């Protein structure tokens, strides 16, 4: 009887171990899944799971879709609806990045002079068309590291990553000449590069000059 009881006890223990092992594995996977879900909720879309079979595939696909959706929404929130160029929000983010990395830059303020004339004589629809045309021509004549932003109705900014004010002035003259060459419109209007603010990040050195 004693031998039989011992054998039965051993069998029960082995059975419990065989049941406990997969349960423990499931608990571990669920804990990992919970941790990944928390990371994703915090905006970390680089996390993925790989130990839950088809559920892992579905979960990872959901993460990828969320990441794509976030990138799309970020692009929309940083883009001017009318012109398709970057907006004031994007400019503020870029300036902060340059400030944090201590990168010198030049900000060019652009005023589309005479836009009121177009709106009054031809209508706001034509005025909007003109703004878009101005932005596209300027954008086409900028280099890869030169950025344009629309911050208001007829106000634009160009951001140049330049370390020398004189180099910047030469570049602006090139942009202005090219713009005048390509701008073939009937309106009595001028696009004026009103002011260049030379910003040496963190050292806070500023120069103002009229172009």
pLDDT in tens, 33-71: 566 666 665 666 565 655 555 556 665 666 677 677 777
Inter-helix orientation angle 124-140/115-122, to 10°:
140
Q: What is the average pLDDT across 12-16?
A: 51
Q: How many domains does the chain have?
A: 2
**Coil, strand or helix at 42:** coil
- Do 37 and 92 fall within a single domain? no
Same domain membership, residue 60 and residue 34 = yes
Are residues 104 and 189 both part of a single domain? yes
Please tell me the pTM assigned to this model.
0.63
pLDDT at 80: 94
Q: Are residues 145 and 192 in the same domain?
A: yes
Q: Containing H/E element for 196? A: strand 190-200
Q: Please tell me whether residues 111 and 179 are part of one structural domain.
A: yes
Helix (H/G/I), strand (E/B), else coil: 55:
helix
Q: In Å, how far from its chain's centre is CA 171?
A: 26
Task: Look up the CATH number of the domain holding residue 126.
Answer: 3.30.70.270
Three-state SS for 141-194 is CCCCCCEEEECCCCEEEEEECCCCHHHHHHHHHHHHHHHHHHCCCCCCCEEEEE
Which pLDDT score, from 0 to 100, does residue 209 have?
A: 41
Highest mean pLDDT among 41-50, 93-102, 158-167, 169-178: 93-102
């Amino acid at each position: 009887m004693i031998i039989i009881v011992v054998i039965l006890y051993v069998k029960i223990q082995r059975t419990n171990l065989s049941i406990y092992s997969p349960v423990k594995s499931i608990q571990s996977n669920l804990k990992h899944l919970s941790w990944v879900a928390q990371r994703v909720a915090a905006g970390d879309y680089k996390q993925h799971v790989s130990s839950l079979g088809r559920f892992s595939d579905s979960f990872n696909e959901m993460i990828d879709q969320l990441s794509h959706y976030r990138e799309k929404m970020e692009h929309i929130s940083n883009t001017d609806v009318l012109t398709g160029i970057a907006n004031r929000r994007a400019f503020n983010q870029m300036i902060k990045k340059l400030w944090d990395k201590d990168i010198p830059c030049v900000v060019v303020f652009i005023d589309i002079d005479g836009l009121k004339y177009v709106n009054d004589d031809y209508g706001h629809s034509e005025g909007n068309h003109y703004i878009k045309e101005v932005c596209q021509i300027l954008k086409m004549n900028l280099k890869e590291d030169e950025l344009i932003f629309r911050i208001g109705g007829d106000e634009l900014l160009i951001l140049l990553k330049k370390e020398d004010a004189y180099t910047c002035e030469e570049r602006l003259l090139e942009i202005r000449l090219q713009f005048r060459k390509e701008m073939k419109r009937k309106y009595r209007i001028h696009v004026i590069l009103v002011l260049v603010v030379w910003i040496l990040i963190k050292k806070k050195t500023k120069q103002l000059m009229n172009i």
